[in-house]
Amino acid sequence: MKAILTTPPKGGVKITDIKLREEKGLKLRTLRTGICGTDKEIVEGRLDFARTEIGNELVLGHEALAVVEDAGESNEFKKGDIVVPMVRRPGNCKMCRLGRQDYCEDGDFVEAGIRGRDGFMREEFYDKEKFLVKVNDRSIADLAVLTEPLKNVMKMVEIFNFQKNRIPTYCDDSTLKCKNLYVFGTGTEGLLISAVFKTMGINVIAVNRHPANETVAKFLEINDINYLDTSNESLSSHSKKYKMDFAIDAVGSMDIMRDISLNISNNGISILFGTSGQMPSSNYEFLGNLVDKNIVVIGSVDGAKVHYEEAIEFISNYGRKRSLDKLITGIYKPEETSIFTNKEKGEIKKVIQWS
């Protein structure tokens, strides 16, 4: 069968034939896989923690949609069911045993297509039913490949809802409509964050360092999300007019964290998602602002099974209304491996169609 391989940590990418390794669980046929920045970093040899499961090559892919070919003795799934496989698989710590490997205590986990486990960019694979999430609404089959990146957002919602109750953060009418959330980054993850939090009644401002391209601008318009181009207006100037109550960094730049600390309102909440490894130019002087303003700063990565389920529910309820299909800007064949290294005009989410 065809599979897309890399050689971590050196990187590279190729498509080749490999033998299907039979394992315990259900036999699945891959329908679609998404490409994100993590895949590109592995291919470019920029992700030091990427590692293989067997041998010196790793099957790429952690965003996937598949169909059950053989359900075996499963009582939950049957042949023909559409499913999304989970990325992170638990180790043996307490949180992993509770099904919250997204909060793993000792790092003893593996992640499909990233570290220690072959991914989903192959025609077929086996997986255990406890790591599969069913897509009951078949009308969203074309959008369900967005479940994996969207589950990260649903975890952020969980964190946000918990933190905002520590002090009175609501408006006078007990809503959030007078509050502003600044979302840094307009890639797939940043746009999904903006769309989800907009449905919660918050005023969302997407932020980037350049004018929005036509695709992004259209998506923001459809979702009634404001845009700040910091090459045109500074963050400090804008936040004086529209105070920054909450902020989410989907880029991974410590300089953005510094900018957030300088401009966020007292008692604000900041969630960090991106992990680009960019270092600050300010020698961490911004840390004093976090203390002085009582800012909550939380790192967020991955998600639990419940977040996958919530992501699928969101796609079913809002996928068409929020035009999530506009985020998929290209559908490619597995053989077109240049998509891992070439960035196309207006690109947001590239998807590989397997069958």
Radius of gyration of the chain (CA): 20
pLDDT in tens, the chain (355 residues): 999 999 999 999 999 999 998 888 999 999 999 999 999 999 999 998 999 999 999 999 999 999 999 999 999 999 999 999 999 999 999 999 999 999 999 999 999 999 999 999 999 999 999 999 999 999 999 999 999 999 999 999 999 998 887 766 678 888 888 999 999 999 999 999 999 999 999 999 999 999 999 999 999 999 999 999 999 999 999 999 999 999 999 998 888 888 998 999 998 999 998 765 444 555 556 667 777 778 888 999 999 999 999 999 999 999 999 999 999 999 999 999 999 999 888 999 999 999 8
pLDDT of residue 168: 66
pLDDT of residue 287: 66
pLDDT of residue 125: 98
The arrangement of strands across the sheet holding 244-249 comes to: 226-229, 203-208, 180-184, 244-249, 264-272, 296-299
In angstroms, the Cα distances linking 108 to 80, 89, 129, 301, 304 are: 33, 9, 21, 15, 16
pLDDT of residue 171: 83
Tokens of 266: 């007292």
In angstroms, the Cα distances linking 28 to 136, 203, 321 are: 16, 41, 30
The arrangement of strands across the sheet holding 116-117 comes to: 88-89, 110-112, 116-117
3-class secondary structure for 241-310?
Answer: HCCEEEEEECCCEHHHHHHHHHHEEEEEEEEECCCCCECCCCCCCCHHHHHHCCCEEEECCCCCHHHHHH
C-alpha torsion sign, points 44, 307, 197, 317:
positive
Whole-model pTM? 0.93
> Residue 293, Cβ neighbours under 10 Å: how many?
15
